[in-house]
């Protein structure tokens, strides 16, 4: 699996997972500004229950793992190992 496919799969799983969690949530968001600034607060409550919660969490974890795999593949792809011949760009004639 090359880097591009890993990145596409990671993005798809992350969008699916976060979409399920956010799409089926019943929550609230509250912001309170205060002086002094130490009294300011931001509260985010996300409550997702049932199958969307389990599937969303699982898809998000798979997406994060695939994102790490794509990162490692991209790093390894940039390293030129000793003994490897330099490849000509694909668009060169």
Is the residue at 85 inside a domain? no
Check residue 92 and give its pLDDT.
56
Euclidean distance between CA atoms 9 and 6, whole angstroms: 5
Check residue 72 and give its pLDDT.
92
Q: pTM above 0.95?
A: no
Check residue 12 and give its pLDDT.
97
Is the residue at 39 inside a domain? yes
Residue-range definition of the domain harbouring residue 57? 3-76
Check residue 13 and give its pLDDT.
97
Is the residue at 92 inside a domain? no
**For residue 9, which of 54, 58, 70 has the smallest C-alpha distance?**
70
Euclidean distance between CA atoms 5 and 67, whole angstroms: 11
Walk along the chain (93 residues) and give the pLDDT tens digit of each residue. 588 899 999 999 999 999 999 999 998 999 999 999 999 999 999 999 999 999 999 999 999 999 999 999 999 888 877 777 766 666 655
Check residue 3 and give its pLDDT.
85
Is the residue at 27 inside a domain? yes
At residue 21, the 3 state secondary structure works out as helix
Euclidean distance between CA atoms 17 and 25, whole angstroms: 12
**For residue 22, which of 45, 46, 54 has the smallest C-alpha distance?**
46
Is the residue at 7 inside a domain? yes
Is the residue at 70 inside a domain? yes
Check residue 47 and give its pLDDT.
92
Is the residue at 50 inside a domain? yes
The total domain count for the chain is 1
Q: Number of H helices and number of E strands within the chain?
A: 2, 2
Is the residue at 18 inside a domain? yes
């Amino acid at each position: 699996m090359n880097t591009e496919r890993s990145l596409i799969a990671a993005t798809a799983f992350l969008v699916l997972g976060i979409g399920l969690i956010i799409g089926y949530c019943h929550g609230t968001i509250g912001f309170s500004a205060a002086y002094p600034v130490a009294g300011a607060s931001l509260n985010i409550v996300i409550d997702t229950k049932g199958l969307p919660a389990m599937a969303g969490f699982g898809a998000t974890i798979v997406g994060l793992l695939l994102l790490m795999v794509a990162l490692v593949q991209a790093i390894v792809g940039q390293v030129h190992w000793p003994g490897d011949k330099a490849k000509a760009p694909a668009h060169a004639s």
